[in-house]
Amino acid sequence: MNLKKKSIQNLPVKKYLYFHFIFIFTNYGYQSISDPMRILPEKTVERLSTYRRTLYKCLDEGKARIYSHELADLHNITAVQVRRDMMMIGFSTFQRKGYEITELINIISDIIDPKDSINVGVVGFGHLGKAISSYFIGKRPKLNLVATFDIDPKKIGNNQLGVQCYSIERLREIVINKEISICILTVPPNSAQEMAKILVQAGIKGILNFTTVNLNVPDNINLEEYDMITSIEKLAYFVKDTSKSKRII
């Protein structure tokens, strides 16, 4: 199923994630069964990802269980939303002791992580590209940053953060040789659309766009777009008038 998302900030999207199991509850836990037609809405997948990051932090702090209202408070949402998301993935607790954190992390990982490792590249290795690369490396074991690309001769050939920087001219070759499926785009706006075209021709299946240009890509390419300028302007809108709601939806 190949679907495309135009913008995180735009209208509700139609992109969904298939997963291949649902959970049958017992008083002692759950069982999983195959259900290839079960789907999760994109917003649910996004929340599951943020839940997992929070749960890892809770583990580091020595917590073993967490209640829905605690998880909700940490994400500025309602406990009802958290419980609804838990129902979507077939996870619950019957002893009113809160969710067992390690078990919940494992279930979320089984659902949202790819079965096999996916290789990722960063196109545009300026300040933003370096910052994203630095944060990305080592955060997810099944998402591997294997290459960066740039046009600057001073960067090409360098091994930074343990990852080689290649010339844009070698992009297709490296994408094929390293089996890169996803690219993070951090190039200047005036070259974003042309670079997206090159990525598609090289065989990239997904693009995370950090430029301020809304990209046009074929329907079989998965596209995520994050416009920081729009996000800042949205914040400014609410900050300028304290009578408006403080929560940005």
Beta-carbon contacts of residue 77 (< 8 Å; ≥ 6 apart): 47
Residue ranges of E strands in 71-128: 99-100, 118-123
Own/partner long-range contacts of 105-112 (Cβ < 8 Å, ≥24 apart): 105/52, 105/55, 105/56, 105/59, 107/23, 108/48, 108/49, 108/51, 108/52, 108/55, 109/52, 110/21, 111/19, 111/40, 111/48, 112/17, 112/45, 112/48, 112/49, 112/52
* Chain-centre distance for alpha carbon 27: 33
How far is 159 from 226, CA to CA, in rounded Å?
27
User: How much is the pTM?
Assistant: 0.71
How far is 230 from 235, CA to CA, in rounded Å?
9
Each of the 249 residues of the chain gets a pLDDT tens digit; together they read 444 444 444 433 333 222 222 222 222 233 332 343 457 888 899 999 999 999 999 999 999 999 999 999 999 999 999 999 999 898 877 667 899 999 999 999 988 888 888 999 999 999 999 998 888 777 777 889 999 999 999 999 999 888 999 999 999 999 999 999 999 999 999 999 999 999 999 999 999 999 999 999 999 999 999 888 888 888 888 887 665 555 554
Domain with residues 118-231, CATH architecture: 3-Layer(aba) Sandwich (3.40)
Element (H, E) at 175: helix 171-177
Question: For the chain, which residues make up each domain, given as ranges?
Answer: 16-112, 118-231
* Terminal Cα distance for the chain, rounded: 29
- Range 16-112 has CATH code 1.10.10.10: yes
Bridge partner residues of 223 (DSSP): 207
Beta-carbon contacts of residue 59 (< 8 Å; ≥ 6 apart): 101, 102, 105
Question: In this structure, what token pair is assigned to residue 195?
Answer: 């670079």
How far is 190 from 212, CA to CA, in rounded Å?
10
How far is 153 from 188, CA to CA, in rounded Å?
17
Contact 122, 135 (CB under 8 A): no
